[in-house]
Structure 1
Amino acid sequence: MDSERATGTGDYLLPRRYARYYLENTPSLVWLLLVNVVAMLVGVRYYVETMPDVSTFLWPLYADSPAALFLMTLSLATLLPFLGRSLDEVPLSRPLAYLHTIALVWLLKMGLWTVVALNLGFDAYFPAPWAYFGIIVTHVGFVAEGLLVPHYARTTRGALLTALALALGNDLLDYGFGYYPPLRYDPGITLTAATVALSVGAVVAASWLLPRHAENEV
């Protein structure tokens, strides 16, 4: 894949050697998957405890941060059959381009959304060690983990447009129908507008970070 970076937008933001360490070695990749699963379960518990009246069918759409971790876990799991091989040898396909693109967009969006949301409601969260600092640090980790994705994935115009449509549709559900993540304050127009901007920005960032999958490839 390195030889095809010309179809993308430049150098990796995360050095290749770190990606190789986490993604090519069995212990590190398995630990990364386990950390994601544990973090996802912790997040699900938080959502369930704070909003028990939400229909079970809406949990995948309502629990935004656990959903982001679930998508990233699926994305990373596609590497398991190729452990011991170079990232350059990992097969690429159009369906995988969609999965990896959506996973990256959700990680970037929810990681940054949490920083924005908690600082817009600063007085409601600060200075509680976990409610402010802990949640921000863990969600900034979403962005850091997302930087692994360009090392094994590519994207397409269709994948980017699909990710944008899903992200904006999720925003409509959250703020149009009241299923936004649990907050200690009313989100109001400011957070709503910021969330939509983050949806667009996350897709733009994914377009910039991910190399392009040639349209004539399967």
Structure 2
Amino acid sequence: MVGSEGQSPTLRRPLPEQYAESYLSDGPSLVALLVVTATAFLVGIRFYVDTMPDVPTLLWPLYADSPTAIALVTLSLATLLPNVGRRLRSAPSNRPLAYLHTLAFVWLIKYGLWTAIALNLRPALYFGFSGTAVYDYWFIIGTHLLFVVLAFAVLHYGRTTRGALGVSLLLLVVNDLVDYGVGLHPPLRYEPGVVLPVVTVSLSVGVVALAAWQFEPLADG
């Protein structure tokens, strides 16, 4: 049962249950969080729109990786609205929701970590304390690491299935092929080379394995 491990953080539930409950079971807090994630999505889209005039519309979700992660978790969190006032363990649970929550989790973890790794593979191009670097390095990394916190919140109400895990892995690998095979990876100040694609594919496999371990399985999944 989600939350059965108590309120203290554990490896399977790094975000304590009490914090997840206080933000996601309370109506005003949940709505405020949805406003924040929706705003973050719009800000992210604005950044990518300025860099993707030649990207086919159908490939935008695979090019704008971080906004896609935020869109998925916004939809995931929105499914909690009918559950406001009740414990997260009482949240709706079915196969379509298992797919949504799993996709939100893996996209958040992958691109939260990917951003920090990508910027630190060439720190001389990003790191610093100037006004530009404060945004391009510290702010970007800080906000993207919050993706991981959001992903850990999903564990308190989401479930997964083998099908959801398989589809998640397939879509992540397709995303990697689009990023590095077609060249539609997120904007960088350097060419990806070999190391970043290898790291990216490894993250795809790793986050799905993490989801398989951390999520509670759907009862009939």
TM-score surpassing 0.5? Answer: yes
- Structure 1: tracts of 5 or more residues without a match: none
Length-normalised TM-score, structure 2: 0.92
- 1:10 CA displacement: 7.1
Q: Per chain length, whose mean CA-contact separation is higher, i.e. which structure has more relative contact order (CA < 8 Å, sep 6+)?
A: 1
SS of 2:159 mapped into structure 1:
coil
SS of 2:197 mapped into structure 1:
helix
1:145 to 139, 146, 150: 150
- Structure 2: tracts of 5 or more residues without a match: none
Report if aligned partners of 1:51, 1:182 keep a CA contact under 8 Å in 2: no
The alignment status of 1:126 with 2:127, answered yes or no, reads: yes
In 2, the alpha carbon distance for the partners of 1:62 and 1:11 equals 30
Superposition map of 1:1-218 within 5 A:
1-2=1-2, 11-127=12-128, 128-214=133-219, 216=220
Number of residue pairs the alignment of both structures matches = 213
What whole-Å deviation, never above 9, does each CA across 1:111-145 have from its counterpart, x for those lacking one? 00001100012111111111011100000000011
What whole-Å deviation, never above 9, does each CA across 1:182-215 have from its counterpart, x for those lacking one? 111101110000000011111111112111113x
SS of 2:49 mapped into structure 1:
helix
In 1, the alpha carbon distance for the partners of 2:73 and 2:108 equals 7
**How big is the alpha-carbon RMSD for the aligned residues of Structure 1 and Structure 2?**
1.6
- 1:81 CA displacement: 1.3
In 1, the alpha carbon distance for the partners of 2:217 and 2:4 equals 9
What whole-Å deviation, never above 9, does each CA across 1:84-118 have from its counterpart, x for those lacking one? 12212212111111110011000000000001100
SS of 1:50 mapped into structure 2:
coil
**Paired-residue identity, %:** 56
What whole-Å deviation, never above 9, does each CA across 1:144-187 have from its counterpart, x for those lacking one? 11110110011111111110000001000110001100111101
